[in-house]
Amino acid sequence: MKFYKSTFAGLFILLLAFGLAACRSEPSSAAGDAESGDQYTIACTVGMITDVVRNVAGEYAEVEGIIGEGVDPHLYKPTRSDVVTLNGADVIFYNGLLLEGKMADVLVQVATSGKPVHAVTEKILGDEHYLMEKEDGSSHTDPHVWMDVEGWLTGVDVIARALAEYDPENAQDYLSAAGSYAEKLKALDDYAASAMATIPEGQRVLVTAHDAFRYMGRAYGLEVRGIQGISTESEAGVRDLEDLIDFIVTRNIPAVFVESSVADKNVRALVEGAKARGHKVRIGGELFSDAMGQPGTYEGTYIGMIDHNVTTIVNALGGDAGGFEKN
């Protein structure tokens, strides 16, 4: 895949992939741009980031998300309107780790203008004990960190500190809001761990449309299999499907899952293939992987997205999810 058009852009994209805003302006020139009493604007690439930023920024900023519900960020190409949004924003947050590969040229353009551009994964970059690599020999890193609530908490801190730097007058409010939101995420993390533990040990296997749930699997004790690779640009072949059908039948897997941002045809092929071999496996529900639910709904928040996924997985695989106590 080509993410750049020149040698310079290629080198800079490498920096962006690892979350290093190398061409960002120095703090002294970025800080203090927000005038007292005025809202500034923040642009975010994916919904999971947008929701966290809104919780941290509060009334001080207008926050706009670019990639909406049901949209696959691996394949998303920025529109002219997106370019205007990014160029007009005062601060930008993106995931990094090549999640937004096709937006790379625009992010390069904006970053080189001196605007604050932050990767929310920047605190875990280089942490070889945490980050998971793709299993295709490419050495690219799995970008789906938000599937592990504890891992995503590091992004909350990145966002709070970036906003405190940009708008120092209200720094304490950002840090306080981030602390309150972090407590909610810690409660969600505890719920996810306890709910997943109720799944019978032999059934703790998550089979989905693409390999977006490995951080969740590691965090909460699930074996994870995806039909496609980490990026949905990779196509699943007949051999891949046959191997996964063999796995489902052999392990007596009770349910597989579709995803809101990925076509369900391959998952349905698994169901039909297992049926042809005498094993009944059902679709356990729809999970949110690379995008959240519709705006204005509970599933359209990060907490609601993870709660929905955990509840759906646990109940379909024979556990007892109970219910997350929202606060």
DSSP secondary structure of 88-112: H-SEEEE--TTTTGGGHHHHHHHHH
User: Which stretches of 22-141 are DSSP H helices?
Assistant: 27-30, 47-57, 80-88, 104-112
Q: What is the CATH number of domain 195-316?
A: 3.40.50.1980
**Which DSSP helix (H) or strand (E) runs through 3?**
none
pLDDT band at 134 (very low <50, low <70, confident <90, very high): low
**What are the backbone angles phi and psi of residue 115, rounded to the nearest 5°?**
-75, 145
Q: How far is CA 63 from CA 45, 113, 226, in A?
A: 11, 20, 33
For residue 8, what pLDDT is reported?
36
Domain boundaries, the chain: 7-191, 195-316
Q: Is the pLDDT reported for residue 17 higher than 70?
A: no
The average pLDDT across 189-200 equals 97
- Identify the residue whose tokens are 């891949």: 240
Which of 2-11, 102-111, 220-229 comes out lowest in average pLDDT? 2-11
| Dihedral sign computed on CA atoms, order 144, 150, 156, 157 | negative
pLDDT for 105 equals 85
Q: Do 7-191 and 195-316 come out as alike in CATH topology?
A: yes
Quote the CA–CA distance of 222 and 213 in Å, as a whole number: 9
Does the pLDDT at position 181 exceed 60? yes
Phi, psi (rounded to 5 degrees) for 81: -65, -40
Residue 315 pLDDT > 90, yes or no? yes
The pLDDT tens digits for 235-255 are: 556 778 888 999 999 999 999
Looking at residue 26, its pLDDT comes to: 44
pLDDT band at 152 (very low <50, low <70, confident <90, very high): very high
Instruction: Indicate the fold that domain 7-191 takes in CATH.
Output: Rossmann fold (3.40.50)
Sign of the CA dihedral with 212 first, then 286, 54, and 192 last: negative
Query: How much is the pLDDT for 301?
Result: 97
What does the pLDDT read at residue 29?
A: 42
% of residues, the chain, pLDDT over 70: 84
